[in-house]
Amino acid sequence: GNSVTQMEGPVTLSEEAFLTINCTYTATGYPSLFWYVQYPGEGLQLLLKATKADDKGSNKGFEATYRKETTSFHLEKGSVQVSDSAVYFCALRIQGAQKLVFGQGTRLTINP
Amino acid sequence: DAMVIQNPRYQVTQFGKPVTLSCSQTLNHNVMYWYQQKSSQAPKLLFHYYDKDFNNEADTPDNFQSRRPNTSFCFLDIRSPGLGDAAMYLCATSGTGRYEQYFGPGTRLTVT
């Protein structure tokens, strides 16, 4: 089946630290990969996406590269800010399917 | 800006009293989804409409129903809410040929 596994949270970092949130997937077919961010009390916002192997998605200083050989899509940011505190979800969608398959989410807290 | 709108943002209902949550979109997307999310867990898909075609998830309780009277609007009806139905309900949309989903801000449902 199709599944997404994210690194266990919560993750706590100091401002300006380097961030990595690991995400690996299992999929039949060729998935598109996404990172969504959810701020407290809000819906999910699409942070970045990649639709084929070796694509790099980027937005707001965050990056993730679609690695087919390691079935991974790790989220990185070089210098985090307090405002990046949120829950981050990795997700995939198989071509031809309507559903998103989510990871369990990783709660990130950035301390000043 | 094109967007997904959910009303109300907060809804309180009594145990067993029917409640309807609404979602509208200005994106002109043909697919609309309803998710249930508890305590920052991953969203759980309840059902989706592909145009007028309704697609129910196998594990969605019969207590949950949906209506889509036109492209722009979609409703979630909970016929007899139980305490376990207290959650954030998220509406999302997706357009033809696009793999990402766009989420509304959610409605937080409290059952008393």
Spatial separation of the C-alpha atoms in residues A23 and B23, rounded to whole Å = 31
Q: Which amino acid is at B94?
A: S
Which pLDDT tens digit goes with each residue over A58-112? 999 999 999 999 999 999 999 999 999 999 999 999 888 888 999 999 999 999 9
- In terms of Cα–Cα distance, which of B22, B43, B31, B23 is closest to B88? B43
Tokens read off for B112: 């008393």
Q: Which amino acid is at B97?
A: G
A85 Cβ under 8 Å from any chain B Cβ: no
Q: Tally A–B CB contacts below 8 A.
A: 54
Which pLDDT tens digit goes with each residue over A17-69? 999 999 999 998 789 999 999 999 899 999 999 999 999 999 999 999 999 99
Spatial separation of the C-alpha atoms in residues B67 and B76, rounded to whole Å = 7
B6 Cβ under 8 Å from any chain A Cβ: yes
